[in-house]
């Protein structure tokens, strides 16, 4: 290779250097991934050219449709992957091959380091180019941007940096448009020069790439080795489970199997084909702040965008393709946001996906459980965001409750206790901590089922006014609770109601005087049967868990909680019995309630000192 000027050396971004170190010293067994990823990138480049050529047909000066070529060269020990797509200019080579612009890079590298086999993560993250360093000791990339006279060469041996320079005459003449990637293979990667190995990988992973993939053997004529068909346009009757699996893995860049497949054609006011999949494993960037979807939008088999928001953000885990017959081919990404035809498609497809999830939940609960375990917290975002489908999403949701796991609200309502009119829930950080929460005591004594909500999103969607089947959802950490009409499970517990208790008015007055403005109110509790105290929010305030989350982000002023006390507890009774200890006991009631809610007392040292003094004085007995 000759160049007109000396190559310019540049360092890799730190994350790229770390990633390449993993690739160069890779111990991953599935090295086949490199070819699939290079073909996928080539396909994207061809898609982009075809899209840009709609408004600028001069970009395809030769009139030839884009294609991909794979050329093994045993004497030179090189494997070339060449596309006639959009190509890259100098800055694009630097940006695309020298940096990782995706968010979550550090998390990805951490997971890749820990994984026994990182191939699935590589595909999910979209850094497939670097996977080529698993099999190559050196990579040379020559690229010409469509419509440009300039050709540049990028090269690296997978170390700390790369070189870039204008291409020489020979390279420039060879690459008339698009990108040529030449892999100088390691000694242990010689099998990838065998035509049967190349064909095997293409059939397994890239058969449904829409552009012809030609194998250029050292001897003989080039031949196409993929079917290059838009699988979503074919009838379902022609396709097998394996066909769908391969299509999912190629479209989504994944290695798991789809937990749900949805394939249909809509006809009528809008005509479009839909092929969508729900993965069975969680991608690393599921909670990326951008919350972008990964459904590809095509118009009459022409790629338009891979993030056109054709599904709402709470269904961003869905992968696949929507191919419209009616949208204009020259539609821009900006126009997509306000296009009424796409709005209708979005509404119809969203409804169909939710219906399919409902059917899966009823008919194949095990398959649905995989989806819920991986994406339940994301689906629950829709309860807050999608008022129109709120009831359906509530019905779709599965919960851990005091009665078991994967419980639906339909099951909950069917099992309501006599005189129970509400669906009760409690939010917190873990199921174990919630099960030990004293606010459950009165509900447990009556056999009332309680939803135990531990996902951060639960604190937000439950703040909306909600009901299911005419039964309102009510927090055990907020507002008044009255279980008087629901019978206790233990008849003997009924008799304990008549046991002597502390003087309510006097006790509350003493506690209020001791705590001052640390609480907004003190009142006798209907929630507690065994514990001394708990903290709750007022009926108009945020739930306690939401209050803590908002406070952590400084997004809302904190409100003072309400301290509820169990008038029959010995600790509460001791307040009026020992006026000298009343203040310390009052603080103890507040601080132990904070600890049970997962909070630290305002002054941990004072709490420890106060507790020690009370124990030594023998105020608390038994």
Q: What pLDDT score does 129 carry? A: 83
Tokens 């969607």, residue located: 461
Q: What pLDDT score does 332 carry? A: 66
The Cα–Cα gap between 546 and 559 comes to 11
The Cα–Cα gap between 560 and 538 comes to 9
What value does the mean pLDDT of the chain take?
86
Angle value at C-alpha 528, between 524 and 529, nearest 5 degrees: 115
Q: Give start and end residues of each alpha helix (H) in 115-182.
A: 119-125, 169-174
Supply the Cα-derived Rg of the chain in whole angstroms: 32
More confident residue, 579 or 519: 519
User: Reading across the β-sheet that carries 562-565, which strands appear in turn?
Assistant: 521-524, 562-565, 533-536
For residue 144, the SS3 value is strand
Alpha-carbon torsion angle 575, 579, 583, 586, nearest 10: 10
Closest CA to 534 of 500, 559, 564: 564
pTM for the structure as a whole: 0.73
Closest CA to 317 of 347, 353, 348, 351: 353
Over residues 498-520, mean pLDDT: 84
471-486 pLDDT tens trace: 999 999 988 888 989 9
Of 10-14, 232-236, 343-347, which gets the smallest average pLDDT? 10-14
Q: What pLDDT score does 2 carry? A: 43
Residue by residue, DSSP assigns 534-598 as EEEB-TTSPPHHHHHHHHHTT-S---PPEEEE-TTSHHHHHHHH-GGGHHHHHHHHHHHHHHHTT
More confident residue, 117 or 420: 420
Q: Pairing state of beta strands 161-166 and 8-11? A: antiparallel
**CB contact set of 95 (below 8 Å; sequence gap of 6+):** 101
22-49 pLDDT tens trace: 666 654 557 887 898 899 889 989 989 9
Over residues 430-444, mean pLDDT: 94
The Cα–Cα gap between 507 and 513 comes to 10
Give the helix/strand (H/E) hosting 80: strand 78-83
For residue 210, the SS3 value is coil
The Cα–Cα gap between 598 and 433 comes to 8
398-431 pLDDT tens trace: 999 999 999 999 999 999 999 999 999 999 989 9
Residue by residue, DSSP assigns 493-534 as HHHGGGS----HHHHHHHHHHHHGGGSSEEEE-SS-SSSSEE
140-168 pLDDT tens trace: 999 999 999 999 999 998 877 899 999 99
CB contact at 8 A, 199 and 216: no
93-106 pLDDT tens trace: 988 887 664 444 44
Q: What pLDDT score does 273 carry? A: 95
Q: How far is CA 421 from CA 24, 393, 417, 536, 586, in A?
A: 63, 21, 9, 21, 34
The Cα–Cα gap between 523 and 122 comes to 56
258-277 pLDDT tens trace: 999 999 999 988 899 999 99
Q: What pLDDT score does 497 carry? A: 53
Q: How far is CA 25 from CA 19, 133, 134, 187, 564, in A?
A: 10, 9, 7, 14, 60
Instruction: Evaluate if residue 504 carries a pLDDT over 80.
Output: yes
The Cα–Cα gap between 75 and 218 comes to 10
Q: What pLDDT score does 240 carry? A: 93
């Amino acid at each position: 290779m000759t160049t007109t000027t000396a190559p310019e050396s540049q360092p890799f971004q730190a994350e790229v250097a770390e990633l390449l170190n993993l690739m160069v010293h890779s111990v991953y067994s599935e090295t086949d991934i490199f070819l699939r990823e290079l073909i996928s990138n080539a396909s994207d480049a061809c898609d982009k050219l075809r899209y840009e050529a709609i408004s600028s047909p001069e970009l395809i000066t030769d009139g030839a449709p884009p294609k991909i070529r794979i050329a093994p060269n045993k004497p030179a020990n090189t494997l070339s992957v060449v596309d006639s797509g959009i190509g890259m200019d100098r800055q694009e080579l630097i940006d695309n091959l020298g940096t990782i612009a995706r968010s979550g890079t550090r998390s990805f590298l951490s997971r890749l380091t820990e994984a026994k086999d990182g191939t699935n993560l590589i595909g999910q993250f979209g850094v497939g180019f670097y996977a080529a360093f698993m099999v190559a000791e050196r990579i040379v990339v020559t690229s010409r941007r469509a419509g440009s006279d300039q050709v540049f060469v990028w090269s690296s041996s997978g170390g700390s940096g790369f070189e870039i320079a204008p291409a020489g005459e020979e390279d420039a003449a060879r690459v008339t448009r698009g990108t040529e990637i030449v892999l100088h293979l390691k000694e242990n990667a010689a099998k990838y020069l065998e035509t049967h190995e190349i064909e095997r990988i293409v059939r397994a992973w890239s058969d449904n790439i829409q552009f012809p993939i030609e194998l250029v053997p050292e001897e003989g004529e080039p031949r196409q080795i993929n079917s290059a068909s838009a699988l979503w346009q074919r009838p379902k009757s022609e396709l097998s489970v394996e066909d769908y699996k391969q299509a999912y893995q190629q479209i989504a860049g994944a290695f798991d199997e789809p937990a749900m497949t949805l394939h249909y054609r809509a006809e009528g006011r809008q005509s479009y084909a839909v092929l969508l999949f729900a993965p069975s494993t969680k991608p690393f960037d599921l909670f990326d702040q951008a919350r972008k979807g990964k459904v590809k939008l095509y118009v009459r088999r022409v790629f338009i965008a891979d993030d056109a928001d054709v599904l709402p953000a709470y269904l961003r885990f869905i992968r696949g393709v929507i191919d419209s017959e009616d949208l204009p081919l020259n539609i821009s990404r900006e126009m997509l946001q306000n296009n009424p035809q796409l709005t209708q498609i979005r509404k119809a497809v969203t409804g169909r996906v939710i219906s399919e999830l409902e059917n899966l939940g009823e008919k194949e609960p095990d398959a649905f459980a995989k989806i819920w375990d991986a994406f339940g917290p994301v689906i629950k975002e829709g309860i807050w965001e999608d008022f129109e489908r709120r009831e359906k999403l509530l019905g779709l949701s599965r919960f851990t409750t005091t009665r078991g796991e994967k419980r639906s609200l339909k099951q909950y309502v069917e099992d309501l206790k006599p005189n129970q009119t509400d669906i009760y829930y409690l939010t917190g950080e873990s199921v174990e901590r919630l099960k030990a929460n004293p606010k459950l005591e009165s509900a447990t004594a009556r056999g009332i089922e309680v939803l135990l909500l531990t996902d951060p999103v639960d604190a937000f969607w439950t703040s909306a006014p909600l009901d299911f089947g005419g039964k309102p959802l009510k927090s055990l950490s907020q507002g008044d609770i009255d279980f008087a009409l629901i019978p206790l499970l233990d008849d003997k517990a009924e008799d304990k109601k008549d046991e002597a208790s502390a003087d309510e008015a006097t006790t509350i007055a003493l506690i209020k005087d001791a705590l001052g403005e640390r609480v907004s109110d003190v009142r006798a509790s209907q929630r507690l049967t065994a514990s001394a105290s708990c903290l709750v929010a007022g009926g108009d305030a945020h739930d306690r868990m939401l209050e803590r989350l908002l406070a952590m982000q400084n997004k809302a002023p904190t409100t003072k909680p309400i301290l509820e006390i169990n008038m029959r507890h010995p600790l509460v009774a001791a307040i009026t019995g020992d006026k000298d200890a009343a203040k310390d006991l009052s603080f103890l009631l507040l601080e132990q309630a904070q600890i049970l809610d997962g909070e630290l007392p305002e002054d941990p040292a004072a709490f420890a000192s106060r507790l020690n003094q009370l124990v030594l004085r023998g105020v608390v007995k038994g």
